[in-house]
């Protein structure tokens, strides 16, 4: 009964490639998010969607494109991967746009 799931959990790829990370929540929440955790463990929001609509785009390079096919899914597509994209990416969801956020298990992306 996973609440917020992400696939894959680990992703190793070469510079310049394009990759996607998928996120699904079965909590019936309206709002979903992507966060990036860097090598120093600092967490920062990238995007938030409310009912499939983009609410926040936190000055993320346009190589990152979130897509929300429905309110239970928020996928992250990254074009032309760079070394600096290596990080752990967390998906999260919340029942309203200011309430508690529940996180997925994270995806560790390594760009070689």
Partner 1 sequence: AQTVTQSQPEMSVQEAETVTLSCTYDTSENNYYLFWYKQPPSRQMILVIRQEAYKQQNATENRFSVNFQKAAKSFSLKISDSQLGDTAMYFCAFTNYNTDKLIFGTGTRLQVFP
- Residue closest to 13 by CA, chosen among 60, 79, 72, 103: 79
Shortest Cβ 44–partner 1 spacing (Å): 7
Nearer to partner 1, 18 or 46 (CB): 46
Task: Write the CA distances from 51 to 24, 33, 97, integer angstroms.
Answer: 13, 11, 10
Q: Where are the alpha helices (DSSP H) in the chain?
A: none
Q: Which is nearer to partner 1, 10 or 16 (CB)?
A: 10
52, two tokens: 């499939």
Nearer to partner 1, 18 or 99 (CB): 99
70 upstream amide cis, omega within 30 of 0:
no
CB of 80 to partner 1, least distance (A): 26
State in angstroms the smallest separation of the CB of 96 from partner 1.
Answer: 9
φ/ψ of 16, rounded to 5, equals 95, -15
The β-bridge partners of 23 are: 6
Nearest distance in Å: CB 66, partner 1 = 13
Residue 44 or 63: the one with the smaller Cβ distance to partner 1 is 44
Interface with partner 1 by CB under 8 A: which residues?
31, 33, 35, 40-45, 48, 50, 55-56, 58, 88, 90, 92, 97-103, 105-106, 108
């Amino acid at each position: 009964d996973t609440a917020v799931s992400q696939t894959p959990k680990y992703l190793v790829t070469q510079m310049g490639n394009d990759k996607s990370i998928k996120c699904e929540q079965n909590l019936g929440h309206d709002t979903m998010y992507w966060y990036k955790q860097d090598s120093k463990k600092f967490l920062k929001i990238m995007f938030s969607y409310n009912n499939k609509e983009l609410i926040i785009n936190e000055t993320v390079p346009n190589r990152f494109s979130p897509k929300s096919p429905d309110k239970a899914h928020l996928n992250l597509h990254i074009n032309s991967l760079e070394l600096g994209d290596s990080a752990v990416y967390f998906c999260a969801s919340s029942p309203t746009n200011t309430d508690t956020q529940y996180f997925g298990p994270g995806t560790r992306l390594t760009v070689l």
